[in-house]
Amino acid sequence: MSKETYDTLIVGAGAAGMMCAIEAGRRGRRVLVVDHARAPGEKIRISGGGRCNFTNLGTGPANFLGENPRFATSALKRFSQQDFIKRVDQAGIAWHEKTLGQLFCDDSAKLIIRMLTDAMREAGVVLRTGTGVASVDRAGTGFAAVLSDGTAVTASSLVLASGGRSIPKMGATGWAYDTARQFGLRVTETRPALVPLTFETGLLETLLPLAGVAVDVVVRNNPEPITTSASDPASPASSSPQGGRPNKEIGFAEAMLFTHRGLSGPAILQISSYWREGEAITVSMAPGVDVLARLKAAREANGGKAAVHTALGHIVPRRLAESLCEREQVSGKLAEVGGKALMRLDAAVNAWTVKPVGSEGYRTAEVTLGGVATDQLDQQTMAVKTVPGLYVIGEAVDVTGWLGGYNFQWAWSSGWAAGQVC
């Protein structure tokens, strides 16, 4: 068995692990990064449709979920979106703002990976891909690990940077959670987030003809009120309204896509992080439009000769208009349609309340909600308070961002913060 000694062992060569390695390496630390995938930064490579939405201009703690969303504040300030943009500019990578402050590479996400791997090399970091960790334990004041290739590694710092459970096909594992538990840490409930929602078969059948239709919407959740247990007034639900469960009313104005499996698109992915089983979501498919007034005006024009689905098709996509008229059993010429029927259509368009039965799960989820509880970590450095030398960064932590570049920014910021000290 070969033996190697480093100052810092980082498990996971994703966004957070690579950023951490660069910073620690620049401080002169001898750093080993291991990843069981064949190449580093696989999620960066596929992100943003291959162009990597690498940050968001408006990143702040309000864009994150978790037991304590304010936990992220310090790291996000210490290494901000502007700091990451500077690095991207220095590397000569061209970028653009797509929408809502979301920054993408003009060319390819691979340029971000190259920027990070070049910087790691220059900082003297050793990167070993295709290598997992068979076991890890405390050894004196440091750590001893056995890698999957049999190498015995000792290091004074250990960084858990192996991400969450999303997309197991790409190598995602619960390793960080299991290892955190092994060291006595609490892990909050984890669940798929930024994920398409699914519906019961009957409803899905009515939605199937709409597969492929995209529409700009405002989608809201309808959180169940948190009930306070009279017998246990100090229960987590009553003492912490967040309690790992974002019991908060919120709305997102973005695109929604009907698919063969249910609903997707940015608006749905966003609300999925706030939705819980048993709850409904409400979708406004012509936000800001007084549908009833528009239909009534159309009824007055040309003697109401236009078909009702045609008139509605001027407000929402034609296929959606046809489907809504069919569902609400409103047909014929506008002149023949009464006020109550028009009100039903108005509600069908702008107050569609629907109960998902589930989500597509970790198979397609962009992130994992929940993770290593933040009350055990130092918010400046991501150091575990009770285990000197142990750090947790990136998606493994109970800090989950909205869709739009926030998750990578958290990975850069938390990785940078740990890299200053680990």
Residues that bind ligand FDA (CB under 6 A): 11-17, 34-37, 42-43, 46-48, 52-53, 132-133, 161-163, 166-167, 171-173, 175, 366-367, 394-395, 405-408, 411
User: Taking the complex as a whole, how short is the minimal distance between the CB of residue 187 and ligand FDA, in angstroms?
Assistant: 15
User: Taking the complex as a whole, how short is the minimal distance between the CB of residue 231 and ligand FDA, in angstroms?
Assistant: 40
Of 415, 302, 385, 304, the residue nearest 75 (C-alpha): 415
User: Taking the complex as a whole, how short is the minimal distance between the CB of residue 239 and ligand FDA, in angstroms?
Assistant: 29
Pick the closer one to ligand FDA by CB: 130 or 303: 130
The tokens of 84 are what?
A: 């990451």
Pick the closer one to ligand FDA by CB: 284 or 407: 407
Pick the closer one to ligand FDA by CB: 113 or 210: 113
Q: What is the dihedral of CA 13, 19, 21, 25, to 10 degrees?
A: 150
User: Taking the complex as a whole, how short is the minimal distance between the CB of residue 197 and ligand FDA, in angstroms?
Assistant: 17
Residue nearest to ligand FDA (CB): 14
Pick the closer one to ligand FDA by CB: 275 or 402: 402
Pick the closer one to ligand FDA by CB: 135 or 302: 135
Cα–Cα distance measured from residue 88 to residue 272, given in angstroms and rounded to the nearest whole number = 31
| Residue 68: how many other CB atoms lie within 10 Å | 18
Cα–Cα distance measured from residue 56 to residue 405, given in angstroms and rounded to the nearest whole number = 5
User: Taking the complex as a whole, how short is the minimal distance between the CB of residue 394 and ligand FDA, in angstroms?
Assistant: 2
Determine how β-strand 53-56 pairs with β-strand 102-105.
antiparallel
| Residue 45: how many other CB atoms lie within 10 Å | 16
The tokens of 288 are what?
A: 């800001």
Pick the closer one to ligand FDA by CB: 104 or 345: 104
Q: How far is CA 114 from CA 29, 118, 415, in A?
A: 21, 6, 17
Of 387, 384, 394, 386, the residue nearest 416 (C-alpha): 394
User: Taking the complex as a whole, how short is the minimal distance between the CB of residue 71 and ligand FDA, in angstroms?
Assistant: 15
Pick the closer one to ligand FDA by CB: 259 or 323: 259
Cα–Cα distance measured from residue 170 to residue 126, given in angstroms and rounded to the nearest whole number = 22
Of 165, 173, 215, the residue nearest 320 (C-alpha): 215
Spell 8-36 as b/e; 16+ CB within 10 A means b. bbbbbbbbbbbbbbbbbbbeebbbbbbbb
User: Taking the complex as a whole, how short is the minimal distance between the CB of residue 411 and ligand FDA, in angstroms?
Assistant: 4
User: Taking the complex as a whole, how short is the minimal distance between the CB of residue 144 and ligand FDA, in angstroms?
Assistant: 16
